[in-house]
Structure 1
Amino acid sequence: MPRLTPQRREAQRQRIVDAARTAMLRDGLQATSMARVIEESGLSAGAIYGYFASKDELVVAVAVEVIRTRLASMAALAEERPVPHPAAALGAFVGQLPQGREAALVLDIWASTAHHEALRERTGAVFAEVSQGALTYLEAWFTHGRGLTPAAAATEARRALPALLALGQGFIVQSTLLGTPSPEDFRAAVEALWPTPEETPDGE
């Protein structure tokens, strides 16, 4: 049997991840077995296990697909001048977050990691990327929006990071479980709580 080229191997791997994602979105994380992924992909069990040794590895790959493709938005806001106020930044960010069935899948993954240490460790790297993008934005905001020195901005960014992430996570939970708010309504709610000043140091 001819050896697969790197491009062909990557295409085969992506086919498996796409099949797993389809099954998880349709049936939920807990109900999705390796057998269902095999059936969805149309590949043999040997082909699947040649890329992924377990369902946990597939869950991580799907988490990367669902989340990582949306990570650029927050870090990209750090490059804008003036740097957007956190209320505006959050409004832009939540518009890129998973919604609908994808958001429900994220909640499934979060719930599973609470009781599964190995899975928590594997998915931790994915969520760490979310944190790093948010931290990059906050450092830029405190530097250019508040006029702090880089060192002081880094300190304040680390202090503010948990609250910023919690707001984004809260949007996923509320929009999935309650069906509201929309990204637009969420931004308006954050602005009501955290009014945008008319002027910042960069805008004077």
Structure 2
Amino acid sequence: MARVSQEHLDARRRQILDGAARCFARSGFHGTSMQDVLKEVGLSAGAVYRYFSGKEDIIAAITEETFAAIRDAFEEAGRVVPPPTPDVLLSSVLGRVLSGELHGLDRRTFAALAVQLWSETLRDRRLAAQLDEGYATMRTAWTGLVEAYRDAGLLDGDVVADHMARTMIATAQGFIVQEALFGDVRPEVLEDGLRGLMSMSPQKPS
């Protein structure tokens, strides 16, 4: 009997995850059954259970991939030397995150899936642990980025690096939520809006 190649196994696993992601984005985790997933991917139960023990296992795998995609976008942007200003940097991150590369989903569908995953971490400790790990990694990477701004003379010395890092992460997360709820979120909108906020100066007392 011929052995199944690793490429075939990887492609089949990818087929299952992508199909399940479409189902979850469309109907939510709790509104999607394993029968829905089987119908979406066009495979038998035996074929799917060869890779995953059940729906919760599939959700965990999609969560890991989605969080990793967002985390990797942040980390890659943070490695640019010299570091671009936050408006350019966050625009680049948002553009990559919403590019639709993961699971072959369009921008709004991927954003909706990400928001559902974040919500699911509130009830699932396994997913919450994945999110905590990814968030801690992003905070560390972006705190280093803020220190690079300071070293380049772009930042006042009294700003707490972690506070600024968390704010930049929250800004990107907020735009992902906007895309999920309302659509039409473009990287240039984020870049232009941040540039405007960064250009403001405190009013001098008269």
TM range, normalised to the smaller chain?
A: 0.7 to 0.9
Other structure's SS at 1:96 match: helix
Other structure's SS at 1:115 match: coil
Report deviation, 1:156: 4.3
The answer (yes or no) to whether the contact 2:139–2:166 under 8 Å persists in 1 is: no
Other structure's SS at 2:97 match: coil
Which has the larger displacement, 26-35 or 105-114?
A: 26-35
How well do the aligned residues superpose, as a CA RMSD in angstroms? 3.0
Which has the larger displacement, 95-104 or 157-166?
A: 157-166
Which has the larger displacement, 31-40 or 19-28?
A: 19-28
The answer (yes or no) to whether the contact 1:171–1:181 under 8 Å persists in 2 is: yes
Other structure's SS at 1:114 match: coil
Partner in structure 2 of residue 165 of structure 1:
169
Give the length in aligned residue pairs: 188
The answer (yes or no) to whether the contact 1:131–1:165 under 8 Å persists in 2 is: no
- 1:51 partner amino acid: Y
Could you tell me how far apart the structure 2 residues matched to 1:48 and 1:114 are? 27
Determine if the alignment matches structure 1 residue 119 to structure 2 residue 122: no
Deviations 1:114-141 (A, max 9, x none): 22333323x426xx33652453244134
Determine if the alignment matches structure 1 residue 129 to structure 2 residue 129: no
The answer (yes or no) to whether the contact 2:21–2:113 under 8 Å persists in 1 is: no
Unaligned runs of 5+ in 2: 99-106, 201-206
Determine if the alignment matches structure 1 residue 140 to structure 2 residue 145: yes
Partner in structure 2 of residue 15 of structure 1:
15
Which has the larger displacement, 23-32 or 63-72?
A: 63-72
Normalising by structure 2, report the TM-score: 0.75
The structure-2 alpha-carbon separation of the partners of 1:29 and 1:92, relative to structure 1 and needing over 3 Å to count, comes to same
- 1:103 partner amino acid: A
Could you tell me how far apart the structure 2 residues matched to 1:124 and 1:48 are? 25
The answer (yes or no) to whether the contact 1:19–1:41 under 8 Å persists in 2 is: yes
Report deviation, 1:20: 0.8
Partner in structure 2 of residue 105 of structure 1:
113
Normalising by structure 1, report the TM-score: 0.75
Could you tell me how far apart the structure 1 residues matched to 2:140 and 2:126 are? 26
